[in-house]
Chains A and B, each alone.
Chain A
C-alpha cells in the first residue's frame, strides 16, 4: 500500500459531505464545482456572487488546515509538461460541462440521492480515468 491513509480520507470525506449538506439545506443548492466554475463565465448570471464566494473558500480551506494542523497538508506534485496540462484542462473543462457535472456534482451529490444520471456519469468517468491511467502508466 502506497501511503494509504484511510482515516485521512474518511475524515476529509466527512468534511466534504458536511459542506455539501450545509450548501443543500441552507442554500438549496447542489455542490457541483464544475457548474460553480462555469458561473464565472457568466458575470451577469444570478449565481455569480455566490460562486465567487465558494471558489474563494476552497483555497482558504486549505490555508485553514495549514494554520491549524500543518502536518495534515500534503504536497502537490504534478508530473506533466505544459502541453499535457493544457490538453487535460481542456478535456476536464469541456467534458464536465457537456456531461453536466464532475466528481462533486455527479459523484458526491448524485450518488447518495440515487440520481440515474449521476450514477451513469460517475461510472463512466471513473472507468475512463482508470483506463487512461493504465495506458499512461503501463502501456505508453
Chain B
C-alpha cells in the first residue's frame, strides 16, 4: 500500500509541477531575475505555486498532529531537529548556486524526463551529475559522521 501511495504522490507532484510550468527551467530563472522588475518582464509564477501549496500543507500538518499514526504506516517520520548548523546553511547556498546556473532543482529535473524532447540528453546529464553530487555528499557525511537523515 505504501508503494501505491508513493506512486500516486509522485504522479500528483509531477502533474502539479507540469501544470505550474516549473518543469521549464527558463520559467524558474525568470522568477529569480528580480532585476527584471523595473523593466516589467519579471515572472512571479513561482510565488503562486507556493501560495497554492503552502496552505494545503499547513492544514495537513494540523490534521497530522491529531493523528496517532499515518493511515498506512506505523508512525510519522518528521524531522525534529531545530538547530542551525554550518552544513544546513552552506549546503543550501551551494544548492542555490546550482539552481541559479541552470534552473533545475531535484523534483522538476526528474519530471522533465518525460517532457524534455530534444533536451533529454541535457536533462539526463544534469541528473547524472546531481546523483553523483549526492553520492559524494553521502560519503562525505559518513566520513565526518554528520547525521544524514535529519531533514529532507
Determine the chain B residues whose CB is within 8 A of the CB of A13 once the complex forms: 16, 20, 48-54
Against B, the Cβ 8 Å flags (1 = close, 0 = not) of A47-65 are 0011101111111111111
Instruction: Give Cα A6 to B149, complex, Å.
Output: 35
B25 to chain A, nearest CB (A): 6
B53 with A17: CB separation less than 8 A: yes
Place the interface of chain B in its size category: 35 or more
Determine the chain A residues whose CB is within 8 A of the CB of B73 once the complex forms: 26-29
Instruction: Give Cα A110 to B79, complex, Å.
Output: 9
B112 to chain A, nearest CB (A): 5
Q: Of the candidates A3, A9, A64, A75, which one forms a contact with B15 in the assembled complex, judged by CB atoms under 8 Å apart? A: A64
Q: Of the candidates B20, B83, B103, which one forms a contact with A11 in the assembled complex, judged by CB atoms under 8 Å apart? A: B20
Residue from B32, B107, B152 with most neighbouring chain A CB atoms (10 Å): B152
Q: How many A-B residue pairs have CB under 8 A?
A: 530
Instruction: Give Cα A53 to B84, complex, Å.
Output: 32
A89 and B100 contact, Cβ closer than 8 Å, known pairs A19-B13, A61-B17: no
Instruction: Give Cα A22 to B2, complex, Å.
Output: 11
Determine the chain A residues whose CB is within 8 A of the CB of B84 once the complex forms: 116-117, 120
A85 with B122: CB separation less than 8 A: yes
B82 with A117: CB separation less than 8 A: yes
A91 with B105: CB separation less than 8 A: no
A15 and B19 contact, Cβ closer than 8 Å, known pairs A21-B57, A37-B130, A76-B119: yes
A76 with B24: CB separation less than 8 A: yes
Q: Which residues of B contact A (CB under 8 A)?
A: 2-27, 29-30, 32-36, 40-61, 63-64, 67, 69-79, 81-84, 87-107, 109-117, 119, 122-123, 125-138, 140-141, 148-152
The 3 closest A-B pairs by CB, nearest first: A57-B10, A32-B152, A13-B52
A sample of 16 more A-B contacts (CB under 8 A), given A38-B137, A54-B10, A64-B15, is A9-B45, A9-B49, A27-B6, A28-B70, A56-B10, A59-B114, A64-B11, A72-B18, A77-B26, A101-B151, A104-B13, A116-B84, A124-B93, A126-B32, A128-B95, A132-B32
What are 17 contact pairs spanning A and B, CB under 8 A?
A: A13-B51, A15-B15, A17-B60, A21-B56, A33-B110, A60-B7, A60-B10, A74-B21, A78-B119, A85-B125, A87-B129, A89-B102, A91-B94, A91-B97, A103-B107, A104-B106, A134-B34
